[in-house]
Structure 1
Amino acid sequence: MPAEEREEAARRARRERAARLLGDLLPSTTRDERSEGWGDDRGGSTRDDELRRNVPPHHGKD
């Protein structure tokens, strides 16, 4: 096997080992690329949701 092929195989093996040991450290997309924005439901309760639920009766519920 030529030296170039050995080096490439060694690099590939190191990358595969690092991927197994470390897992996927970086997300596949960034926040800028995702469609979530202000007011999107993220599955949890936000402080705004809590405040809307706890509106005093004299403020109305619109």
Structure 2
Amino acid sequence: MTDRDEWERRRRLAEVFGDDLPDVTTDEATPSSDRDHPTSRNADDRWFLDNRPPHHG
């Protein structure tokens, strides 16, 4: 399969299915240094720690 054939195949697939998936997912991306950013691992950890039941010390 040539590069041109591959390009045509991808173009047809994108035409039919669209391009809904991101190139890089949040688990592949470098965590943000912004602690309040929703995709930051620190923000997720902080939410769990803030909502931890008292008996989990």
**TM-score, structure 1 as length reference:** 0.34
Larger Rg: 1
Greater fraction of residues in helix:
1
Relative contact order (C-alpha < 8 Å, sep 6+): which is higher? 2
**TM-score, structure 2 as length reference:** 0.36
